[in-house]
Structure 1
């Protein structure tokens, strides 16, 4: 801990010293630390579990089998109904038989591990906190002074309108990232159809408004933590996306907040986890829900996961979003105002850890008669 002569903790100095190493959290672990730096320590209220929590509760997430969904007919209707219920009640669901080859999933997880475990000299070339940089490596440092950092490193690759110069992707994982993103784009198209139908819309509705035409691939590395009870791998939040598809390795840690309980979402080999983002909750007018979730720091590891966040195309991002008119009525009026995608993201960022969701800020206040 960096302190002044009068004993005051110097958050900014300690954070700056860590940042200048460009080695990430893994660099701390490699240095053999036994105590985590102070700026990684989360306040007790962030680490505490809600009063109803039962230790080691495992949530039975809805598992949706996509086998036969492309053939249409009764099978497709069955899957659409399962998605409608899961997205409206849980906000999270597991997908099996989704068509993404297991060898591509395994190769992607191995490539993420390989990137993060290469020499610091190689990784530091990409180290940046610049949000405009489409390929970057960093450690999820806090946005504001005295917010807490999370115990993870991250390689981010942003595809605008499904495009990213392959040369910008690190060579150590370039082939795997390209193959995996192709699969995610195919999954996106299927999910867009099924979610549209689950809202009672034509199957091409979500694709036509290009709300999920861009992807941000987060390649996450959660190193072993010497004091996991003091920090978090990822703080409580809901996603500022329309949809997220997550792949986990065999080490758990993901939890979702359900009925005021933190419950584990155990990994299942070969499965993907879909979760509804804030923006999908808004345009669905609360027919689908975005759920807060977090990742625990752990005394084992590393944990590897890959999250694919779906956001609007550049064209759609310049236009306002609002609840879809086709699902509104006198009995079901719009619950949210119009907003621009960048406006939503900016509000979320400026509030830092003071807000876990920006949904209330965009909700229309209605005066009851």
Structure 2
């Protein structure tokens, strides 16, 4: 299967969007996306421990499911270098990038690709990406990652370790915010599988018709995302799309489906998407922190009460992943399929 990269299409100087990238009218981006009245973006959580962030965290997890974090402890240098490395890769010659191409016939394979799902039908996202398998360490094979620009592989490893530490800290705080043991969610996840995906969104000839990434909630436990100053991430809040306006040195936290299940729906995974523009390329780096496929996920019994009855059926995470990739995300239909009818 030959898959043309979005970047190649964009650089060919197209005036019109190819039909396979045109979203149906009801899914096209609203160019008048609202901004939150207080901050002009999604909310911000300050992780400075002297401020006791737990009460604010609980509100943001229950009302938003996504937020910026600042004072997170990850050096600005680490954030800047991984974005620079990603840009360096995507700005390299096509023949060099294709040495690291992923299998276009399979979903979620490591490497350089454009198609997220294995199925042939459906509208394509206006995006190219490089996906790295980084945890557990037995999955790490840096020879599958680019050796350009300089120190690329070392930067990915450093970034992986930084994101692992921050994800563990956040999951501990989330557990504590629900009066669960601080290690509850981490223990429920088991051995962590971490992927780091660098996404490149090329300028689009008709951005009002396309999406860089279709509306979805992430399938794992928690996602940590950084973006450049172009911006394009949107979150669904109260039926309206809210722009995640870029915030220097902040990291965006996105709760994913398994955390919603574990918290019995008290905390919600965030529906999000990426829009594109006609003039500027955009880059983002998403770190996915997920359970092993052999792990069974179910609501914490401590959170099941008469007032808050059991909401979700237990699921084997590997089955959840298979469903997500075979059916496609389509909003939150995969987690909704686990709902127990009351």
**TM-score, scaled to structure 2:** 0.91
Residue 91 of structure 2, aligned match among 114, 117, 122: 117
> What CA distance in whole angstroms lies between the structure 2 residues aligned with 1:211 and 1:294?
28
Residue 46 of structure 1, aligned match among 27, 30, 35: 27
> What CA distance in whole angstroms lies between the structure 2 residues aligned with 1:46 and 1:132?
23
1:125 is paired with a residue whose SS is helix
- Contact 1:142–1:149 (CA under 8 A) maintained in structure 2: no
- Contact 1:196–1:206 (CA under 8 A) maintained in structure 2: yes
Q: Structure 1 338/170 Cα, relative in aligned 2: closer, same or farther at 3 Å?
A: same
Structure 1 segment 145-294 matched on structure 2, within 5 A = 145-163=120-138, 164-172=140-148, 173-211=152-190, 213-294=192-273
Root-mean-square deviation (CA, aligned residues, Å) is 2.0
Note the residue ranges of structure 1 that are not aligned, 5 or more in a row: 1-15, 70-74
Deviation, 1:310, is: 0.8
Runs of 4+ in 1 over 4 A off after TM superposition: 130-134, 353-356
More displaced, 349-358 or 185-194?
A: 349-358
Structure 1 segment 67-82 matched on structure 2, within 5 A = 67=48, 69=49, 75=50, 78-82=52-56
2:53 is paired with a residue whose SS is helix
Match of 1:4? none
What is the number of residues matched between the two proteins? 333
1:300 is paired with a residue whose SS is coil
- Contact 2:125–2:214 (CA under 8 A) maintained in structure 1: yes
Note the residue ranges of structure 2 that are not aligned, 5 or more in a row: none
1:236 is paired with a residue whose SS is strand
More displaced, 153-162 or 300-309?
A: 153-162
- Contact 1:217–1:306 (CA under 8 A) maintained in structure 2: yes
Match status 1:342 vs 2:318: yes
More displaced, 207-216 or 40-49?
A: 207-216
> What CA distance in whole angstroms lies between the structure 2 residues aligned with 1:261 and 1:166?
41
- Contact 1:284–1:323 (CA under 8 A) maintained in structure 2: yes
Match status 1:107 vs 2:71: no
> What CA distance in whole angstroms lies between the structure 1 residues aligned with 2:188 and 2:116?
33
- Contact 1:39–1:146 (CA under 8 A) maintained in structure 2: no
Q: Structure 1 131/141 Cα, relative in aligned 2: closer, same or farther at 3 Å?
A: closer
- Contact 1:193–1:203 (CA under 8 A) maintained in structure 2: yes
> What CA distance in whole angstroms lies between the structure 2 residues aligned with 1:271 and 1:179?
18
> What CA distance in whole angstroms lies between the structure 2 residues aligned with 1:117 and 1:82?
40
Deviation, 1:350, is: 2.3
> What CA distance in whole angstroms lies between the structure 2 residues aligned with 1:210 and 1:204?
10
- Contact 1:223–1:301 (CA under 8 A) maintained in structure 2: yes
Give CA deviations for 1:150-193 in whole Å, capped at 9, x if unaligned.
11100001224255123332112212111111110110121121
Q: Structure 1 247/123 Cα, relative in aligned 2: closer, same or farther at 3 Å?
A: same
Match of 1:324? 300
Q: Structure 1 141/328 Cα, relative in aligned 2: closer, same or farther at 3 Å?
A: closer
1:263 is paired with a residue whose SS is strand
Deviation, 1:140, is: 2.4
1:298 is paired with a residue whose SS is coil
**TM-score, scaled to structure 1:** 0.85
More displaced, 166-175 or 214-223?
A: 166-175
Give CA deviations for 1:10-38 in whole Å, capped at 9, x if unaligned.
xxxxxx55x1x5xx111112222222221
